[in-house]
Structure 1
């Protein structure tokens, strides 16, 4: 975009909105070109929406002038989905952070997209409720970002993802239509399910300005367990048995041998020698009968190859058990401050084959791979460790990543469970979905966003990958990023 056009863009946006809601100085806009993928592209302007009407005005203005617009929450995503690769305007929703309504009797809450996940939980807890999605970054990430990525976290194994816990949305389409989709009730089947379509669409179809969320009562009690296994096969058998019995845990986290060894090297966590895999398990529910529920899970976890099952009885014991898991992220940051972290999903029964295949890739490419994640639904975070200052390592890492994705698809898995596609995976999704599905996706995109202003460059083919009028050519989806 030429300097004159940038000046005009900035002046018109500042006339459109109240003072203090538009930034155009490159130094001010710089930080809004990043997300947690560490990719960067400088936008021409940053707009801070305060209301639904602000969003409506900005989207309509951008659409009428065919200016690229990238909606952004808190920038905690790891795939580059909020990096404004076509320049234009970044629409920040962080100031739209109100709880609009809580209806405890009807078990729903209406909130704005900039509200952090933790602030929502804090507002709900005194009333005895919670919203099930709980990403690791809950203290920082926004509800709107959770919806855009369908980000879930450990509790998804029992309580589901944002798609299962959102009743309705208010949004603005790329061509400036003000829409409400979904319901305020737990049942409803009028028309197509556009609520679930918008969730996980990464801001390519519409900008969410309000969400009606389904609430769940807080459990009376929770118990924490740690189970250690000689092999990944034994742990996978335990996962299958745990998920096959009536008591569904509210968290079922997995760490492989490489993750355990890293923790052993960089923390004082008490772990048996020669542990091949580890499960962290949480069981919640009513106080009455919880002991029996925990015992059922313990019995399911005690398969051949189980070395130890430990149940925490006090807060201190809970903290000690979780210290193992908490030690992993600092250890990873210390060993490899630059790494590739991708969240893939395979059927639970294919977890052993996935870990074996990843270990083979680690040897073939000469790169350490550490794996952990939400094993109850087969969602594994694959961490390829490398030094980003070594170009040859970076090249090998991305060659390895392509092989990781091929392995996951061969095991009937999917390329992302909660991190989304963004720039990192857009060049791979045709391998999973096929050309015909991507053509249908592009057609849907045109219906919502005919001028392709919303987050252009984030889908992999044809129309959806074309350049916006404000932008430079879209860069390839390569780079190093950190864990969510």
Structure 2
């Protein structure tokens, strides 16, 4: 970046908030994928007015911008291509307002999910999205990826739990979306459009979030099955009755076997699939609700349904699921982790197809995830230093995506697209829809400076094909 550009950037944000030396900026060039790139510079933004000026400067200078929270994403969306300027939101982390009477909170994008939940809990509320990285991931990142977590099965994703946004377009124009009420149909729904767009349409500077009262009680249970077909049958039965669980997690036989090799789980050898289920509600209704879900879970080749009665029993039931990540890190610390979604009824075909692909390509695949909405995390256990194995893994992954789409699924449930899945997107999105998305991008970001090269693949006309 030119000295003149950096000088103007320092005047806007303050010299202490701008990093330009390679040794300083390198730490802001990665995310939780295995990608990393050198930023042209890094600026710690502190308020919306600064962002407006910075975007206008970049629009005028033709400098690309990549917005970054804590870098917990897994798809390369916050990796700054072509020495882009990184906007770091670490210091823009105020909870501006919590309005319990109207069930809303206004926050800056650098607030972490965990910080917001901690502030809401004493007031009897929570914000439903709960990604695994909630302790460190930011609200801005949750919105950029539409990251949800286990509670989405009952409470929805950030799109369903956000009322409005304040943002800056790629030309440096400030605008607001949505309203402070749960009903409102004035104009197009730009709020839902921006959520999940990975910083390619606008820079979010503030979010108004919809809050939910904390439940009075929660019940945890574990159901085991002889095979995946029975577990999927149970998921369909659970989701077809009136009581919606607040978590419905799935592990396949390969995952269970792997965990069994690293921890004493007390699970019978005949267990071929497992569901972790949580139900929440009022003190008066929780027992009846739990019984209804447990009854629905007892179908097919169900081996057991254990309902926890104490906190100690809750921890014991979750032991299997919590032991999975350490086991995966031990066996394959640099695994390929993809999150895909299929209709609940198609889970058995997905798992069966993945088993065939595992054998065909000689790649171990472990599956777990959010069964209630068909969001399965497909883990290819590989050694990235083994060139031959990585070639097989990429062929396998290509076939995994084809399998998902053949089952009327989608290639990403909550991890986003970024760079990792960008070149597969045109398999799912038809040419007309893709062209419309490019047109929308041009309206929001005419100079193509906001996270260029991410989320949607280029049109053939753009590549000279």
Shorter-chain TM-score category?
over 0.9
Once residues 242 and 13 of structure 1 are traced to their aligned partners in structure 2, the CA distance between those partners, rounded to angstroms, is: 55
Decide whether aligned partners of structure 1 residues 155 and 464 sit closer, same or farther in structure 2, where only a CA change above 3 A counts. Answer: farther
Match for 1:432 among 411, 428, 435?
A: 428
Q: Which residue of 1 aligns with 2:221?
A: 225
Following superposition of structure 1 onto structure 2, how do residues 26-105 of structure 1 map, counting pairs within 5 Å? 26-105=22-101
Q: Which residue of 2 aligns with 1:185?
A: 181
**Offset at 1:435?**
1.4
Q: Which residue of 1 aligns with 2:246?
A: 250
Match for 2:409 among 387, 407, 413?
A: 413
Gaps of 5+ in 1: 467-484
- Is 1:148 matched up with 2:155? no
Gaps of 5+ in 2: none
Q: Which residue of 1 aligns with 2:457?
A: 460
**Offset at 1:12?**
2.3
CA contact (8 A) 1:388 1:394 kept: yes
CA contact (8 A) 1:456 1:464 kept: no
**Offset at 1:18?**
1.8
Once residues 256 and 25 of structure 2 are traced to their aligned partners in structure 1, the CA distance between those partners, rounded to angstroms, is: 41
Q: Which residue of 2 aligns with 1:24?
A: 20
- Is 1:385 matched up with 2:381? yes
Q: Which residue of 1 aligns with 2:349?
A: 353
Following superposition of structure 1 onto structure 2, how do residues 193-342 of structure 1 map, counting pairs within 5 Å? 193-342=189-338
**Offset at 1:11?**
2.3
Once residues 90 and 75 of structure 1 are traced to their aligned partners in structure 2, the CA distance between those partners, rounded to angstroms, is: 11
Once residues 329 and 164 of structure 2 are traced to their aligned partners in structure 1, the CA distance between those partners, rounded to angstroms, is: 38
Match for 2:161 among 153, 162, 165?
A: 165
Using the size of structure 2 for normalisation, the TM-score is: 0.98
Match for 1:365 among 361, 367, 378?
A: 361
**Offset at 1:339?**
1.0
Once residues 318 and 270 of structure 2 are traced to their aligned partners in structure 1, the CA distance between those partners, rounded to angstroms, is: 20
Q: Which residue of 2 aligns with 1:114?
A: 110
Once residues 2 and 434 of structure 2 are traced to their aligned partners in structure 1, the CA distance between those partners, rounded to angstroms, is: 34
Once residues 5 and 335 of structure 2 are traced to their aligned partners in structure 1, the CA distance between those partners, rounded to angstroms, is: 37
What is the RMSD computed on CA atoms of the aligned residues? 1.3
**Offset at 1:465?**
7.4
**Offset at 1:455?**
0.2
Structure 1 range deviating more: 389-398 or 152-161: 389-398
Q: Which residue of 2 aligns with 1:12?
A: 8
Structure 1 range deviating more: 352-361 or 319-328: 319-328
CA contact (8 A) 1:221 1:284 kept: yes
Q: Which has the higher contact order (CA 8 A, sep 6+)?
A: 1
Deviations 1:296-330 (A, max 9, x none): 01100001200111111111111111111110000
Structure 1 range deviating more: 350-359 or 54-63: 54-63
SS in 2 for 1:219: coil
Deviations 1:182-215 (A, max 9, x none): 0001100000000000000000000001000000
SS in 2 for 1:423: coil
